[in-house]
Chain A
Amino acid sequence: MRVATDIGGTFTDLVYLNDKGEIFVDKDHTTPGNFEEGIINVMNKSRINFSGIENFIHGSTIVINTLTEKKGDKVGLITTKGTRDVLEIARGNRPDLYNFNYKKPQPFVERYLRKEVTERLNYKGEVITPLVLEEVTDIVQSFINNEVKAIAITFLHSYINPIHEKLVTKYIREKYPDILVIASHEISNEWREYERTNTTVLSSYVQPTVSNYIKKLEKKLLENNVYSNKYIMQSNGGMADFQEAKNNPIQLVESGPVAGVFGAQVLGNLIGESNIIAFDVGGTTAKCSLIHNGEVKITTDYFIERDEKNAGYPIKAPVVDIVEIGNGGGSIAWIDEVGALQVGPESAGSYPGPVAYGLGGQKVTTTDAHLVTGRLSAKNFEYQVNIQEINKILKRDISEKFNVSNVDAALGIIQIANSNMLNALRLISVRKGHDPSDFSLIAYGGGGAMHAAYLGRELNVKKTIIPNSSAVFSAWGMLQSDLRTDSIQTYVVQLSSLNREVLNEKWNELIAVNSQKLLKQGVPLEKISFTKYLDMRYVGQEHTVKILVPEELIFDAQNLKLRELFHELHEKTYQFKLEDSDIEIVSLHLVSIGEVDKITLKELDHQPLNPSALIEKRKVYFDDDGWIQTPIYNRDLLVREQVVLGPAIVEEKQTSTLIYPKQKVTVDNYGNLIIEEVVV
């Protein structure tokens, strides 16, 4: 049995797969302060046989919450002489261009806890000033006096030669075993000292909290006789065992959300779709990510608290490339200072929530607009919906201002929300040089199914898929994941002077380190596999294109094949190539997978059509056609291979799927809904 638990703000989700390949879902309240209680509660509630668990997988927002709520521990930073202020100067940028009251992000370590050591390497990694190790003693002593709980170390050029970082780390670990220490080379081997320093500092900042959290969870599981393998989801879409997660906690920064993208990749494999746009609509935000040729894109260009007005904090950890916008079911509709209708990013949250909840919400949201247009019905809510109240507020705040009917205003809200989502989806697809008609849209989360059919049509994707149990799809994704590490090593070299032996040596070093990591986590050698990528660019450019290095790639004398691959991908991404320019490698990216045994999903049985699947017909308001009497179906009663023509709505416990006129929906072998355009 594989069990996945995902802790959210309100609920702790549980999804598990029994040995027959059947899936079960449950949820219980999250227990802040003692999250492990909530996990055991939901497992008890679902009556799982604890000792029958083989793999326990956990998704957690502990890292991101500790960072954004600033609840981590006091950190001391040690840097190269002359560079302790790098963390504070940061990059000097002002994204809110015209705001002269702009405030830059405050560093996580105050200036008096940032100390310098005499040592220096040059850009080639050669020591030009030897390390004066004796200076470290006083520094650590002053940290102890100031109640520092974790120490971060970042020296210049350590990405190419970590010798001084290693010496200082070893010294502190031996002499002061009670203090947690992280050196930059242990988590990031890319150049740019500010980004690397900040990543290291943030890792140290969360490490004591994360260690405690995992220790408590482990203890609780053992008390309850769970002797299984225990894993945590990392931001790269793979798992790590508990020890590895404690060593490198920053890898958990996007532990939850990435699992959905990874789930989309697995689902794609299952049903034969390798090009996928994964699209997740929650209460506050919508997230999307592109999967091309079965590959989830991993990047280290990740920030927290960054938006169009704030520089945020860079974290150079491998994270699934996700674009997030402030548009979800609870997004509030409002009129801006120039009289234009806007939706989001402010959300009504779960309390008071949309007007529909009747909990005192006084601002119209996307969910309310779905009700007014008949796309949702009052029966879909656990609350007593007061439609008069929604209409009253909608009229007062929106309709009267534009002199339109309430239903047109509600449709306007949906259109603006769709437009926002569409722009995000275009950003990751068309604008990166991909043709959406080669892709399938997989929509999940509470609100994905409501917008998916429209977005799929506008994007012109091949088909739109609403997966089975789409509302808990992220946890579903966890059940399917393997152990994974991503190592990125900056290594700048022009192809014209590339020495293949040196390159191979670099690969072998990375392979050795990562095999070791996976072996330590109990993966047998034959289950470990590697994929190589090169980040490359034209000489003189800054940004790189990531090239998958095919296993059969032959490194001929001029690296012609590699050049060709690069030119091709560059042109696809940016609409031009420079065949006369030399090309350089900037970094090596090694993906190491430790495969875990999985359970195959079970196909649905063939069954005759069930007439009671049709719940009712009701009036639904559509963009071009106005009100249409629309059939409403119960998803649980639709059978394998059943086809329903649009317009239609398919309802399930936590979400509803809207199908437009001239579309059809088919139930596939696994119960997924496949929406396609009807070609006349």
Chain B
Amino acid sequence: MNVNPFILEVIKDSLLSIGEEMFIALEKTSMSPMFYEALDYACGLTDHRGNLVSQGNGVTSFIGMLSPMVKTIIAKFNNGKDLSEGDIIIINDPYQGGGSHLSDVGFVMPIFYKGELIAFSTNKGHWTEVGGMDPGSFTNNSTEIYQEGLQFPGVKVFEQGRVNQGIIEIIKSNVRLPDQSLGDMWAQVAALRTGEKRIQEVCDRYGVDKVKLSIEKLLKQGEEYAKNALKKLPKGTFYASDFIEGESFSKEKYPIQVKVTITEEKFICDFRGSHPQVKLPINCSYYGLMASVRVMFLAIIQPIKEINEGVFSLLEILVDKGSIVSATRPAPVSMNFEARLGGADLIWKALAKEIPHQLPAGHLLSVSSVLISGPLEESETDFLLVEPSVGGWGAGMNFDGQNGQFCMGDGETYNIPIEIAESRYGVLVDEYSLIEGSGGIGKYRGGLGVKRVYRALTDNQRLSIRFGRHQTKPWGVNGGQEGQNSNVIIKRRNGITEPGSGIINNIDFHKGDKVILMTPGGGGNGNPNERSKEAIESDLKNGYITSQQAQMMYSNQ
């Protein structure tokens, strides 16, 4: 077919804007703060084989989870032959398809045009509740996945447009906040249908053949981009190792390692030799790892405008079966971001010195999740606060690290304003501030970690926290120092202070008790002795560094 190349571009633009439109529609209609403040979800379109064509994304981690999910569904339903118009499939199985943990619930909808399967509309979002042993389904001490919540293995929740009431009832009776979870589901379904409608409109306008051609072209362009980007990278083999942190008090640490091989044709990440899966919810499945390796790959080949399956065609990931970064059933994965981000951070660490213009020093690394639940003041209902936390990012080759940002696995994620937190949850925020001196010093200083202090306003609340980097510290680069590690301190109302740690498993939190949450500071970049006098003075004036840190840098100058 001889087609005007610019028309294909115009169609491509339409396809790209569909991903964004679905994303905005979901944000505006969702019922839970994880969707609208954390934007912890992603929407996408794939071709009829499940290759990602366009996406709208709030957190980085989901980018790699959409297409494996669709491909799993295609395979499961007889190579797509058992799918009909109006079907919608629900899936959250971490070990197959796009699995992170059960809380991230995915939907897949086949799109037909005049009877022909031409594409899929899909999304995945973090539900505040999917049942399981702990409120919020954020489980810090599960030993197998069966404790972590309701599992959807990829079943039709809509068949030819008709809802399967049975599944709805199962959800209703298995989750703690059915209104919120089902509200999110309706929003996700609405977004899928928007995608379907828009694709069909584009086919009406330009003809289905041109739309298919445009999709082919888009994927091809993605591959070309990645090939060109690879050319610019240093070739060779690069190594890094680190730890995934276990329990705070036992000081357990599980070693992980990577060998990154960059050739003219491939970008290979070999995680073989990492620790076997553990009976703590910090494992991630192969699909979880793949998602965050894809994020890292995108950061390395920045700037990229259009992300689709073609971009990832040169990426290869090698793992042992059943390792902490490639766990298999029934390993628990509720806090899977620990292994998932830990794996990606290894690649970052291995390459930071090689491509300093792309990658700064190490950052807070962890989602730093906080979960508080319990009764509200003057109300019958319970509240559930689930939030990620901001911390310090590493310094770059010519700039100081950023203060108080979410980790690499998050992205267009928003903290919960104090005024909203206090209106909705039974807590008071006594402090939200930068931690002086927490950034690693260097020619360029690491960004500061952040302190947030919650005070309980009612009795019988429960508290669960998982902050990474409580035993290890964000790494510096080129002689820059490490950032400060994270710490969580409980101050009881009777004056007793409980020893600091990074992980808290579902403990009591009563009226007047305080929890002091401190996230890590970022690593420094370059020799601290080379920091300019003006920069040190400005840091001192603004209280970004301590006087001891200033003296250390001055005395060597």
CB within 8 Å of B: which residues of A? 82-86, 88-95, 97-104, 110-112, 122-123, 156-157, 159, 191-195, 336-341, 402, 404, 408, 411-412, 415-416, 419-420, 423, 426-427, 431, 492, 538, 540-543, 573-576, 578, 581
Contacts and interface: CB of A to CB of B under 8 A. Distances in A.
Given A82-B453, A122-B428, A538-B183, A101 B360 contact: yes
Interface string B396-428: 100100111110101111110111101100001
A88 B414 contact: no
Interface stretch (B82-90, B217-225, B469-477): B217-225
Nearest to B428: A122
Contact of B299 (A89, A99, A337, A540): A99
Given A123-B422, A541-B31, A402 B5 contact: yes
B305 A542 contact: no
Q: A101, A103, A123 — which one has the most chain B CB atoms within 10 A of its CB?
A: A101
Q: A423, A538, A540 — which one has the most chain B CB atoms within 10 A of its CB?
A: A540
Given A101-B399, A402-B6, A412-B6, 13 more contacts: A82-B429, A93-B414, A98-B304, A100-B408, A111-B542, A123-B423, A191-B419, A193-B417, A431-B25, A492-B423, A540-B179, A540-B180, A575-B194
Nearest to B17: A423
Contacts of A84: 433
Nearest to B186: A576
B541 interface: yes
A149 B212 CA distance: 61
Given A104-B405, A157-B419, A192-B419, A97 B60 contact: yes
A192 B415 CA distance: 11
Contact of A82 (B33, B35, B183, B433): B433
B7 interface: yes
Given A156-B419, A416-B6, A88 B404 contact: yes
Contacts, number: 201
Contacts of A543: 27-29, 36
Contact of A408 (B4, B30, B348): B4
Contact of B6 (A88, A336, A341): A341
B359 interface: yes
B228 A337 contact: yes
B15 to A, nearest CB: 11
A487 to B, nearest CB: 19
A572 B392 CA distance: 43
Contacts of A95: 411-412
10 contacts: A83-B433, A85-B404, A92-B390, A104-B403, A123-B422, A159-B419, A191-B423, A340-B221, A341-B5, A542-B30
Contacts of B179: 540, 581
A112 B420 CA distance: 27
A90 to B, nearest CB: 8
Contact of A581 (B183, B396, B412, B419): B183
Given A92-B390, A193-B419, A103 B399 contact: yes
A338 B225 contact: yes
Given A412-B5, A540-B180, A574-B25, A93 B417 contact: no
B391 to A, nearest CB: 9
A191 B295 contact: no
B247 interface: no
Interface string B332-373: 000000000000000010000000011110000000000000
Q: A93, A102, A415 — which one has the most chain B CB atoms within 10 A of its CB?
A: A93
B542 to A, nearest CB: 4
B117 interface: no
B190 interface: yes
B13 A423 contact: yes
Interface in B8-63: 9-10, 12-14, 17, 21, 24-25, 27-33, 35-37, 57, 59-60
A94 to B, nearest CB: 5
Nearest to B26: A574
A416 B9 contact: yes
B77 interface: no
Contact of B302 (A88, A98, A103, A110): A98
List the 3 closest pairs (A to B, CB-CB), nearest first.
A412-B6, A542-B36, A338-B221
A92 B413 contact: yes
Contacts of A420: 13
B298 interface: yes
Given A89-B450, A92-B404, A122 B422 contact: yes
Contacts of B414: 91-93
B303 interface: yes
Contact of B57 (A89, A97, A102, A412): A97
B280 interface: no
A98 B295 contact: yes
A492 B422 CA distance: 13
B29 A541 contact: yes
B377 to A, nearest CB: 9
A584 B422 CA distance: 18
Nearest to A402: B5
Contacts of A576: 29, 186, 190
Given A101-B358, A156-B419, A574 B28 contact: yes
B127 interface: no
B146 interface: no
Given A84-B433, A412-B6, A538-B31, A89 B404 contact: yes
A102 B423 contact: no
B193 A415 contact: no
Contacts of A426: 17
B36 A94 contact: no
A35 B410 CA distance: 46
Nearest to B6: A412
Given A122-B428, A538-B183, A574-B29, A100 B36 contact: no
A337 B390 CA distance: 34
A92 B190 contact: no
Interface string B301-328: 0111110000000000000000000000
A578 B13 contact: no
Contacts of B27: 543
B543 interface: yes
A159 B417 CA distance: 14
A94 B432 contact: no
A419 B202 CA distance: 13
A192 B305 CA distance: 32
Contact of A86 (B21, B403, B432, B542): B432
A408 B431 CA distance: 62
Contacts of A122: 422, 428
A88 B543 CA distance: 13
B543 A111 contact: yes
B544 interface: yes
A117 to B, nearest CB: 14
B434 interface: yes
A338 B59 CA distance: 25
B430 interface: yes
B364 to A, nearest CB: 11
Contacts of A93: 406, 411-414
Given A85-B434, A97-B411, A574-B29, A102 B402 contact: yes
Nearest to A541: B31
Nearest to B408: A100
Interface string B534-548: 000000011110000
Nearest to B425: A123
Contacts of A341: 5-6, 9
Interface string B182-215: 0100100010011000000000000000000000
A97 B412 contact: yes
B431 A339 contact: no
A268 to B, nearest CB: 27
A104 B448 CA distance: 13
B542 A112 contact: yes
A194 B418 CA distance: 9
Contact of A191 (B7, B415, B417, B541): B417
Nearest to B183: A540
B261 to A, nearest CB: 21
